[in-house]
Amino acid sequence: MKKILILLCAITILACTEEKKMNDYVTFSGKITNNKTDTIRIAKRGFSKAIPVNADGTFSDTLKVAPGIYYFSDSNESSPVFLRNGYELDMTINTEEFDESIKYEGLGAEQSNYLAEKSLFEEKLFGDDDMADLDETGLETKVATLKKEAMAFIDSKKDIDTMLTRINKEDLDGMMKSMKGYYGEMLALKRDLPLGKASPTFNDFENFKGGTTSLSDLKGKNVYVDVWATWCGPCKAEIPSLKKLEHDYAGKNIAFVSMSIDDDRSHGGSWDQAKADWKEMVADKDLGGIQIYAPKGWQTQFVRDYKINGIPRFILIDAEGKIVDANAPRPSSDKIRVALDGLL
């Protein structure tokens, strides 16, 4: 009898030890359809873990984490995932329909499925381009309405970890503040740089092809200005659309000007390196149009006059040198073609 009790105690201790070991880690596995990478990454501020992906799209790993929202990425797109030690998550995803197809099963899956659903909900809720057309009163009303709808969505999920919903509500406050600030800046642009006002100018900016270019050199042409930098991911994402726009409007009365604001701060403290990196990317990417270099980066007067605090920024100027749009649509937007056609 004594031997049996000792054996039962040993089994209990072993089981407790195994359970404790499992609770110390997250098991994260899954299958990626239409996989385009051999590595995925789970990351958040202060944490990053690469996970190898097999040839058939499967992967599996264990992670020791602090509970919270992390991001799963395949290097092209990313999606939030909620991790807590002890979870056993199995994910499936089709990269051709990234956000729409991501699903989780296993212990803790409901938290990450909620985040995936929330991402789709917010993409639809906040994807209203018409906010740029609102006045101050309309903007206040719109932001309040959006926050109310987003908060109602979070509150409707009664079975979700309260830590997660608390984080989401805090993030929502920050998102609304940023949205109000961004569109508030757009309102200020319309007020200070309205349609028909003479455009700020730039003079004798270095041209990649040699010599210098001034806005006055382009008098008589409509001008579409792209303010960008070599380190800016969203800027580079617009390059294919910009090239297509240049191709489709070739021979028409429109000059495409790309103005680099690369400076010493983003190039190891060297202005020479900043300019060299600009020239290298223009050549490497075979960039078209008129490629010019802003001599003082963000502090260049033209950049300051147009109140540019984030890039890419696109500006549309008519053939008389007057402002059409101080915050013109991006090349990837169908709206820019409507705007250009209206000038031709």
pLDDT of residue 21: 52
Q: Which residue has the tokens 């569109």?
A: 183
Homologous superfamily (CATH) of 205-341 is: Glutaredoxin (3.40.30.10)
Q: 205-220 b/e with 16+ CB inside 10 Å = b? A: bbebeeeebebeebee
pLDDT of residue 16: 45
pLDDT of residue 343: 94
In whole angstroms, give the CA distance from residue 342 to residue 134: 22
C-alpha distances (whole Å) from 273 to each of 15, 24, 267, 276, 286 are 60, 47, 6, 5, 20
Q: Is the dihedral of CA 77, 264, 181, 241 positive or negative?
A: negative
Phi, psi of 115 (to 5 degrees): -65, -40
Looking at domain 25-108, its CATH architecture is Sandwich (2.60)
> Residue 99 region, left (φ>0) first, then alpha (ψ -120 to 50), else beta?
alpha
pLDDT of residue 18: 44
- One DSSP character per residue, 24-49 reads TSEEEEEEEET---SEEEEEETTEEE
Structural tokens at position 56: 């058939």
pLDDT of residue 11: 45
pLDDT of residue 129: 60
Domain residue ranges of the chain, discontinuous segments joined by + = 25-108, 129-192, 205-341
pLDDT of residue 181: 85
Low-confidence ranges of the chain (pLDDT < 50): 1-20
pLDDT of residue 100: 92
39-44 vs 88-94, strand pairing mode: unpaired
Instruction: Tell me the whole-structure pTM to 2 decimals.
Output: 0.63
Structural tokens at position 89: 């998550």
pLDDT of residue 37: 87
Provide the H-helix boundaries in 59-212: 98-101, 109-125, 136-155, 162-192
Structural tokens at position 210: 């040699």
